[in-house]
């Protein structure tokens, strides 16, 4: 091979860069990751699949590299596509291990390997049952990649990836709702980066599913395949950026992430504790007299310790008697405190920011949203109306 031969174009180079950066990140994670941090092992496994996926695309569709691979490394073809059958599941497990502190793999989780097993069997009976010379012809003439069987498998794979991304978003939503049961301030747990990244991978999965469907449609309805190339190339660049973003945002935000228990210990709480008037009044009296809600980072465990009530019992009382979770319960008291200060002429010189901070909030957007929800007015409108009548 001469040094002046062109092997890669810019698109192939992006695929190579994606594979190389993922390989480097995998090594970095494995070398620096604490043994107790299981979530990063799932991240490393996810990135490892994205070492093989771009290489699979490169040998399959790279104009010059494909021919070189056929001449010198014909056994590279097809098997590296296994990454497509694992990456979305690994992303799901990464997020699950990130949000749940007690997450552990179980035997039933091996069911997620079924798509990979089906893919392996499919290749065995439709590709590897041919001789090497026959396989080279199937690849060289694009016969195998555009066969109905392979295109159908590809579409099913891409649809499965969409379902995993949707499951990731549902998991994040459940985590946020569960966080409200134990924390009065969930704003410091910034999960927007995680949502954005999952949505990014979801968009890619939808594009690739659309591409797979278009290829099947092309078998029956001839049309110019220009969009095949556009969608495919766009996906290469977006994945390159998303992988970079995933790694660096994980490093930046991981330390501030609050993991919660996936499974709670079930214990029967006496019914008399749930609806005992004295018991309920004691909670309200403590909240008004000692104002623990003024602590911005008040948690269920902290309040339970103050009230000398088991945290799970207290959570059930909020749910069954007060018809709210801990987050809503505490923030109602904070809204009442803010109302009092906004209506008091002595606090007229205080800005809205000072007032919501003094009331226990640490997010202006959350304060404004809850205030408008409970009172139907913005804090400024409420203050103006109250001081006008003072």
What is the domain partition of the chain in residue ranges? 10-256, 271-389
Please write the tens of the pLDDT for every residue from 223-247.
666 666 777 778 788 888 888 888 7
d(CA 341, CA 352): 10
Contacts of 12 by beta carbon, 8 Å cutoff, 6+ apart = 58, 62, 63, 64, 65
- Give pLDDT < 70 ranges for the chain: 1-8, 188, 223-228, 253-256, 263-279, 389-390
| CATH class as words, domain 271-389 | mainly alpha
d(CA 198, CA 242): 9
> What pTM did the predictor assign?
0.83
Does this chain's domain 10-256 share its CATH topology with 271-389? no
d(CA 239, CA 237): 6
What would the DSSP string read from start to end of 310-363?
Answer: -HHHHHHHHHHTSSS-HHHHHHHHHHHHHHHHHH-GGGTTS-HHHHHHHTT---
Please write the tens of the pLDDT for every residue from 332-378.
999 999 999 998 888 888 899 999 999 998 888 889 999 999 888 89
pLDDT at 226: 67
pLDDT at 231: 74
Q: Which CATH number fits domain 10-256: 3.90.1690, 2.30.170, 3.40.1000, 1.20.1070?
A: 1.20.1070
pLDDT at 225: 66
Q: Can you give 174-201 as a three-state secondary structure string?
A: HHHHHHHHHECCCCCCCCHHHHHHHHHH
pLDDT at 4: 45
pLDDT at 365: 87
Structure tokens at 178: 């569960």
């Amino acid at each position: 091979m001469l040094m002046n031969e062109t092997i890669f174009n810019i698109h192939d180079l992006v695929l190579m860069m994606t594979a190389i950066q993922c390989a480097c990140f995998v090594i970095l994670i494995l070398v620096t990751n604490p043994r107790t941090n299981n979530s990063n092992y799932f991240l490393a496994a996810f990135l490892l699949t994205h070492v093989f996926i771009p290489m699979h695309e490169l040998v399959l569709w790279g104009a010059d590299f494909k021919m070189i691979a056929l001449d010198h490394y014909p056994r590279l073809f097809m098997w590296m596509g296994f990454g497509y059958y694992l990456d979305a599941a690994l992303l799901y497990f990464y997020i699950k291990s990130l949000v749940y502190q007690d997450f552990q793999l179980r035997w039933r989780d091996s069911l997620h390997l079924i798509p990979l097993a089906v893919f392996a069997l499919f290749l065995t009976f439709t590709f590897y049952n041919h001789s090497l010379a026959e396989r080279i012809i199937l690849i060289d003439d694009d016969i195998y990649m555009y066969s109905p069987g392979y295109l159908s498998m590809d579409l099913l794979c891409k649809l499965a990836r969409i379902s995993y991304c949707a499951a990731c978003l549902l998991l994040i939503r459940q985590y946020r709702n569960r966080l409200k049961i134990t924390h009065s301030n969930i704003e410091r747990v910034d999960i927007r980066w995680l949502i954005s990244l999952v949505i990014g991978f979801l968009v890619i999965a939808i594009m690739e599913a659309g591409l797979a469907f278009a290829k099947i449609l092309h078998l029956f309805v001839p049309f110019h395949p220009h969009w095949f190339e556009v969608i495919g190339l766009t996906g290469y660049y977006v994945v390159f950026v998303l992988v970079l973003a995933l790694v660096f945002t994980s490093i930046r935000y991981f330390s501030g992430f609050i993991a919660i228990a996936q499974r709670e210990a079930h214990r029967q709480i006496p019914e008399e504790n749930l609806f005992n008037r004295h018991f309920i009044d004691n909670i309200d009296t403590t909240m008004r007299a000692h104002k623990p809600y003024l602590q911005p980072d008040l948690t269920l465990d902290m309040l339970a310790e103050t009230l000398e009530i088991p945290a799970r019992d207290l959570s059930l009382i909020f749910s069954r008697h007060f018809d709210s979770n801990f987050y809503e319960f505490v923030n109602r008291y904070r809204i009442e405190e803010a109302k009092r200060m906004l209506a008091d002429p002595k606090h007229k010189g205080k800005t809205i920011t000072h007032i919501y901070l003094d009331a226990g909030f640490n997010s202006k957007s959350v304060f404004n949203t809850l205030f408008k929800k409970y009172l139907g007015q913005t804090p400024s409108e409420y203050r103006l109306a109250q001081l006008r009548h003072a």
